[in-house]
Amino acid sequence: MQKKADPWKDYWWIVPRYERWIESLEIPIHRTYYVEDLRTIEVGPWEDRECNAAVVILEGNKDFMETRITEIPPAGKVRATKFAMDDIIYVLSGYGMTTVWAGEGGKKRTFEWQPHSLFFIPRNYTYQLSNAQGHEPARLLHYNYLPMAMSIIPEPEYFFENPALEPTTDIMGGEEHDLYSEAKWVQGARTRRSGGWVASFFPDLMSFDKVHSNEHLGALPNLSYCLPNITSLKIGGRVLPSGTYKPAHYHGAGAVIVIPGGEGFSLMWPVFDDSAEKMVVPWHEGSMFGPPNLWYHQHMNTGPTDTRYITLHPARHIEPSYSGSGIPFTREDPWVRQRFEAELAKRGVKNQMPPELYTDPDFKWGPPRAD
């Protein structure tokens, strides 16, 4: 690949260090509000890692959270990497293996993954990704807070293969404790009043059947995923039945929504701009989008089956804003319902939204809470 000219050569002090680092990798950089299919987006060679890769800079994550794609060649391996921060990895396509260990002499743990798997690599651990198939590549999505960290420590070498950084303890544990064992329900894992399914590896988010329903979350199923021993990142999930949608809500920057399966669309628009046109984000398996800071957004399932989506968040104490109250259906812009019904009609899908939602503010239906 021909080396790109540096347009910021004479203005380096105003360019975030993360931006300068990814430009130096000479891999594709996609700047957008959403990606309709991460499985087909352009990637390019990353020679140092012996794989293909791309960076997606979502408008809602700019200078804050990283969303990066790794593509492993058929029967190939990514060079073993030690990374100085927590990393969530979601499998977009392909089958393979991950080996994780806590430095030289540390116990190694290998597990297999497939499409819709999600796993967590603890900071300062070494890991290697391998493609188990010899006829097609595998693609994975990484989510971490590298852009924010580089704004504080601007040297990229600090975060990769740093010999001075080692895990404080080997949290892989012994035979009685496997960091990548089956998810366990822990009461109070998410908040004082709700529990969660705690694991560092979810083999298949589409077939995960341990849904849980808390009264304060509404009647529809909630996928209460939780990561252990991690305070910087969090994950969540929702099941959205066919022909239904959520009320509009907002929160701070950094959140990423990934679609493991289903069909529908979301709307996004600024909270403090009543004249702003609503952005329509179509989605299906492999889609990703990130609402910018203080933007309303709501998710609509127009497909014939239930859909699932997962949310990747920075932890609440480092999220740059806060969650806000949503727009109740009784105060919703009529255009929203009209657009939803039009999309359902195109597909011959029945509208499951009770009409009382739009007229009675006290009607109890139980839609899921804001992500």
Decide if pLDDT at 139 tops 90: yes
User: Tokens 């300062």 identify what position?
Assistant: 124
Q: Could you tell me which CATH class the domain 184-358 is placed in?
A: mainly beta
pLDDT digits (tens, 9 = 90+) for 99-119: 999 877 778 889 999 999 999
Q: Which fold has domain 13-158?
A: Jelly Rolls (2.60.120)
Task: Please tell me the least confidently modeled range out of 21-30, 170-179, 209-218, 362-371.
Answer: 209-218
- Rounded to an integer, what distance in angstroms lies between the CA atom of residue 214 and that of residue 238? 13
Name the average pLDDT for the chain. Answer: 84
Q: How do residues 293-327 score in pLDDT, each as one tens digit? A: 889 999 999 999 989 898 898 876 555 555 556 89
Tens of pLDDT, residues 212-234:
554 433 444 555 666 666 666 77
Token couple for 129? 């990704």
Instruction: Name the residue with higher pLDDT: 196 or 166.
Output: 166
Q: How far is CA 323 from the centre of its chain?
A: 17
CB 252, CB 317: distance < 8 Å? no
What digits encode the pLDDT tens for the residues 46-101?
A: 999 999 999 999 988 878 899 999 999 999 999 999 999 999 999 999 999 999 99
Taking the model in full, what pTM does it have?
0.88
Domain assignments of the chain as residue spans, ordered by start: 13-158, 184-358
CA–CA separation, 367 vs 172, rounded Å? 38
